[in-house]
Amino acid sequence: MTEFTPFVRTDMLEQREPPAGQRGIILWARENLFSGPMNTALSLIGLVVILWLASHMVPWLLHGVWNANSLTECREIITATWGPDATGACWAMVRERWHQYVFGFYPMDLYWRPTLAFVLMLVAIAPILYQSLPRQMMWFTALYPFVCYWLLWGGTIWAPVVVLMGFGLFALVFRLLVSGLGVPVSAGLGLVAAAAWWLLVQTPLSAAIHSVLPVGLRSVDSDQFGGFLLSIVIGVTAIAASLPMGILLALGRKSDMMLVRTLSVGFIEFIRGVPLITLLFTASLLLQYFLPPETNFDIILRVIILVTLFAAAYIAEVIRGGLAALPRGQYEAADALGLDYWQAQRLIIMPQALKISIPGIVSSFIGLFKDTTLVAFVGLQDPLKGITAVVRADINWKGIYWEPYIFAGVIFFLICFGMSRYSMWLERKLKTDHR
């Protein structure tokens, strides 16, 4: 019988790399592209499509011309440089008309005003997006809408100041009455007082102060707005206003008070059942008929109000989904702590519901910003249809097609992609579980 002598290795084997087929890009391709017959066939078809698109698009992009005064001159440069059968993009149109895509027909000597307003907007939203910044910056965030309006539209500085006084009156009435009448009644009376101030006092008071201290900027009409300036004004304003309105509508839809619940449900279902373009036509054509004669209600303001209401209805349903996802124990915990309804919502319920609803809220915001291009149907010069139509109507750029749409599409993509990435970063930051 053969005897086996046991042997124990006294040194470790050197670490070696796995075989070439089990590491790197080869392993990734085997697992993701060629893991089975169907996956392999789809991968090969996709590769053929990508190669076909690249063979047509890459030369067109590489042959692009940036210095020319017309489409005809672009084509002559492409023919002289790459041959008679070559094609190329005429980016000279972007170089010559970029200011119209950004500012519309805003006076060129006043470009500093929307530029300053955009820079200040970044400063104003910074403390909202990043909690690590000093909370004292929120005071500037609250004042920014009035500063922005004055910079963009101009006129006397006392008009936004007197409007701001109306909000101060609301806060004063609310603070004086909240301890005795509660939050809803105090807020309602505060709104009545502020509305009376804006309707009866604002115009004569601002005119009287301006007659004594004439401080202001040159006025700019709304029909001179256009391009991404118009899209950002409508989109950012509607986003900022629709979120708190959506929260109130979501709470109203879940309220135990029948009147509040009925009004909230009716508003949400009506707005969600009507296309946005219908509301825009209402803002442009019909709303003026219900106002007193000779009333000048700015078209951009009308559009902002209707777009805000439209977005608030969708945000309300997104937040209602977040509220429904919370377990009943969270509400019972708030009751056990002795919190009233508004304290429970502010400290316990709503922070968790908003965290759950972040993807849906940001998706609604992205869709809202892209929907600002629909204002072209009510006569406003959006960057995608309005300004592009103006550019293509110029005899020098007659016949150009892809370049203006690609330029506008890239800008929209960068803005929407930035919102999406911020949403993902915020989700990771607020994530508390370890799964």
Domain ranges of the chain: 225-435
Q: How far apart are CA 317 and CA 271, in angstroms?
A: 12
Q: How far apart are CA 52 and CA 110, in angstroms?
A: 46
CA nearest 352: which of 330, 335, 332, 329?
Answer: 330
Structure tokens, 19: 């075989």
Q: What is the pLDDT of residues 209-256, one digit of tens each?
A: 888 888 888 888 888 888 888 899 999 999 888 888 998 888 888 888
* H or E element that contains 217: strand 216-217
- The amino acid that residue 254 corresponds to is K
pTM passes above 0.95: no
Q: What is the pLDDT of residues 295-306, one digit of tens each?
A: 677 788 888 888
Please enumerate in sequence order all residues whose Cβ is within 8 A of that of 26, keeping only pairs 6 or more positions apart, or say none.
20
Check whether 435 has a pLDDT greater than 60: no
pLDDT score of 294: 61
Tell me if 303 sits within 8 A of 375, measured CB to CB: yes
Q: In this structure, what are the phi and psi dihedrals at residue 316, rounded to the nearest 5 degrees?
A: -60, -40
Q: How many CA atoms lie within 13 A of 226 on its CB side?
A: 26
Q: What is the pLDDT of residues 316-372, one digit of tens each?
A: 989 888 888 888 888 778 778 877 777 888 888 888 888 888 888 888 889 888 888
Check whether 2 has a pLDDT greater than 70: no
Q: How far apart are CA 275 and CA 282, in angstroms?
A: 11
What's the rounded mean pLDDT across residues 64-76? 86
Cα 163 to chain centroid distance, Å, stands at 25
pLDDT score of 221: 86
pLDDT score of 29: 80
> Where is pLDDT greater, at 5 or 410?
410
Tell me if 312 sits within 8 A of 267, measured CB to CB: no
pLDDT band at 292; cut points 50, 70, 90 = low
Q: What is residue 46's three-state secondary structure?
A: helix
Q: How far apart are CA 138 and CA 325, in angstroms?
A: 31
Q: What is the pLDDT of residues 186-197, one digit of tens each?
A: 777 888 888 888
Q: How far apart are CA 32 and CA 245, in angstroms?
A: 45
pLDDT band at 16; cut points 50, 70, 90 = confident
Helix ranges (H only) for 83-226 are: 92-103, 112-129, 138-153, 158-181, 183-196, 202-212
Tell me if 399 sits within 8 A of 86, measured CB to CB: no
Q: How far apart are CA 340 and CA 349, in angstroms?
A: 12
Structure tokens, 377: 């149907």
- Is the domain covering 225-435 a CATH 3.40.190.10 domain? no
Average pLDDT, the chain: 83
pLDDT score of 49: 93
Per-position b or e across 238-265, b if 16+ CB within 10 A of its CB: bbbbbbebbbebbbbbeeeeeebeeebe
Check whether 434 has a pLDDT greater than 60: no
Please enumerate in sequence order all residues whose Cβ is within 8 A of that of 238, keeping only pairs 6 or more positions apart, or say none.
304, 307, 308, 311, 368
pLDDT score of 50: 92
Check whether 1 has a pLDDT greater than 60: no
Tell me if 346 sits within 8 A of 316, measured CB to CB: no
CB atoms within 10 A of CB 386: 21
Tell me if 372 sits within 8 A of 277, measured CB to CB: no
Q: What is the pLDDT of residues 83-121, one digit of tens each?
A: 888 888 888 888 888 888 888 888 888 899 999 999 999
Strands (E), 77-147: none
- Using CA atoms, how far residue 99 sits from 66, 297, 376, 405, 415, in Å, is 15, 28, 18, 15, 18
Tell me if 316 sits within 8 A of 395, measured CB to CB: no
Hunting for tokens 């803002």 — which residue is that? 283
Tell me if 265 sits within 8 A of 296, measured CB to CB: no
Q: How far apart are CA 347 and CA 178, in angstroms?
A: 19
- The amino acid that residue 387 corresponds to is I
CA end-to-end distance (rounded Å), the chain: 57
Tell me if 378 sits within 8 A of 303, measured CB to CB: yes
CB < 8 Å & 24+ apart, contacts of 343-349:
345/251, 349/323
